[in-house]
C-alpha cells in the first residue's frame, strides 16, 4: 500500500496551527529552525490542552495583514497537495486577526479569496469553517456565526467552537441556536480535555452534526452508540490527542475501537505545525500500530465525504476520485 498516493479527506484542520517553516521564514525573515520549533511546534507531551493551545499565539501574531493571511492560506494548500488531500475544511477564528486594523469581514474575505486561489493553483478542493472560542463573549460568538451566514455562497460553509474545553458553554448557546435556525452546518470541539460528559453537553446544547475530536466518547459505550445512531461524525486527530495527554502514544489511541464499533469518523492532523505531523504520517502511524489497510482508509474517507459541509455535487466528484483510485 502506497500511503502518499492514497486520496485523502481532511475535515479538522486549523489554519493558524499549520504554518510551515518556509512560510514563517517568509513572513518573519531571520527565523531560525530552532526558533520555529520552539515557537510554532507544541511539546510532544503537553501538560494540558491549555499548554498545547498556547502554541497558537505566535502564528496568530503573524496572521494580521492581507499579505500574511494570504501567504499562510496558500502555504497550507501546498502542504495539502503534498499529502494528496483531495478535499479539506480549513478552520480559523476571524476575530483573532484584527490587531493590524482589518475588520472581521475583511479577514474572512481575504482567506476566502486565497482559498479560491489555492483550489485553482493546486487542484485541492477546500472549504472554510469559522470558529468562535470558548472564552469569547456571547456577542463575539454571535458575530462569528453571522459572518458564516453573511458569506453564504462562498467557500465559507460552517461554524465551530474551539479553545479551552473546560470553560463553560453558556456564552455560545445562542449562536448555535442561530446556526440551527439558519441552516448553518455546525461542528464543535469536545471529548478531548474532558470526558464523555463534554460530548453529551455539546450534543444537548449545540446539536452539531460533527464533533471535533470526541475520542473520549469511548469511555461511555452508550454515548458511543448514541453518536452512531444519530450519525454524528467524529473528527479524530491521533497525534494531537497524544500531545494533549489523552493517550501516552498513538499505539494506545482508541481510534481502532471506535472504528470497529461502526462509528462515522475521519483521520485528521488538527494542526500540521503545532502537532508536527502530516496526514501521510498520521496514516502511516495507523497502518503501523493497528494494521490499517487501504479499505480502512477508504472507509474513513467515505465517512468524511458524507459528513463534509460541501454541496452534493462536490461530494459526488469526491466519491468518484475515491473509488477511481
The three three-digit cell numbers of residue 170, written as one number:
453558556
* C-alpha span between 142 and 3 (Å, rounded): 41
Q: Rounded to an integer, what distance in angstroms lies between the CA atom of residue 319 and that of residue 324?
A: 8
Whether 100 is catalytic is: no
CB atoms within 10 A of CB 158: 24
Q: Which of 89, 125, 165, 192 is catalytic?
A: 192
Contact 57, 274 (CB under 8 A): no
What is the dihedral sign for C-alpha 154, 159, 162, 167? positive
Residues whose CB is less than 8 angstroms from the CB of residue 65 and which lie 6 or more positions away in sequence, other chains included: 100, 102
Q: Which residues contact 165 (CB under 8 A, 6 or more apart)?
A: 49, 134, 189, 190, 192, 193, 194, 198
Q: Which residues of 185-210 are buried (b: 16+ CB within 10 A; e: fewer)?
A: bbbbbbbbbebbebbbbbbeebebbb
Catalogue the active-site residues: 192
Amino acid at each position: 500500500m502506497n500511503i502518499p498516493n492514497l486520496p485523502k479527506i481532511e475535515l479538522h484542520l486549523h489554519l493558524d496551527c499549520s504554518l510551515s517553516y518556509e512560510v514563517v521564514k517568509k513572513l518573519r525573515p531571520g527565523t531560525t529552525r530552532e526558533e520555529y520549533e520552539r515557537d510554532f511546534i507544541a511539546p510532544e507531551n503537553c501538560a494540558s490542552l491549555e499548554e498545547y493551545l498556547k502554541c497558537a499565539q505566535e502564528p496568530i501574531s503573524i496572521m494580521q495583514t492581507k499579505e500574511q493571511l494570504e501567504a499562510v492560506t496558500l502555504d497550507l494548500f501546498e502542504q495539502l497537495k503534498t499529502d494528496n488531500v483531495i478535499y479539506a475544511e480549513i478552520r480559523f477564528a476571524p476575530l483573532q486577526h484584527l490587531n493590524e486594523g482589518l475588520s472581521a469581514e475583511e479577514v474572512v474575505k481575504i482567506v476566502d479569496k486565497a482559498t479560491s486561489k489555492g483550489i485553482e493553483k493546486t487542484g485541492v478542493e477546500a472549504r472554510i469553517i469559522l470558529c468562535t472560542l470558548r472564552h469569547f463573549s456571547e456577542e463575539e460568538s454571535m458575530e462569528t456565526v453571522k459572518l458564516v451566514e453573511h458569506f453564504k455562497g462562498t467557500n465559507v460553509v460552517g461554524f465551530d467552537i474551539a479553545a479551552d474545553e473546560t470553560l463553560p458553554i453558556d456564552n455560545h448557546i445562542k449562536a448555535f441556536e442561530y446556526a440551527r435556525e439558519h441552516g448553518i452546518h455546525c461542528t464543535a470541539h469536545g471529548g478531548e480535555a474532558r470526558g464523555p460528559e463534554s460530548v453529551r453537553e455539546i450534543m444537548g446544547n449545540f446539536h452539531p452534526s460533527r464533533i471535533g475530536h470526541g475520542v473520549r466518547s469511548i469511555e461511555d459505550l452508550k454515548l458511543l452508540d448514541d453518536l452512531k445512531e444519530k450519525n454524528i461524525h467524529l473528527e479524530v486527530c491521533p497525534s494531537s490527542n497524544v500531545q494533549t495527554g489523552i493517550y501516552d502514544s498513538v499505539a494506545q489511541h482508541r481510534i481502532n475501537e471506535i472504528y470497529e464499533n461502526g462509528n462515522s469518523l475521519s483521520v485528521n492532523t488538527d494542526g500540521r505545525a503545532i502537532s508536527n505531523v502530516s496526514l501521510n504520517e498520521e496514516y502511516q502511524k495507523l497502518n503501523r500500530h493497528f494494521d490499517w489497510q487501504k479499505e480502512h482508509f477508504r472507509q474513513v474517507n467515505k465517512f468524511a465525504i458524507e459528513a463534509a459541509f460541501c454541496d452534493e455535487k462536490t461530494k459526488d466528484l469526491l466519491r468518484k476520485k475515491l473509488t477511481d483510485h
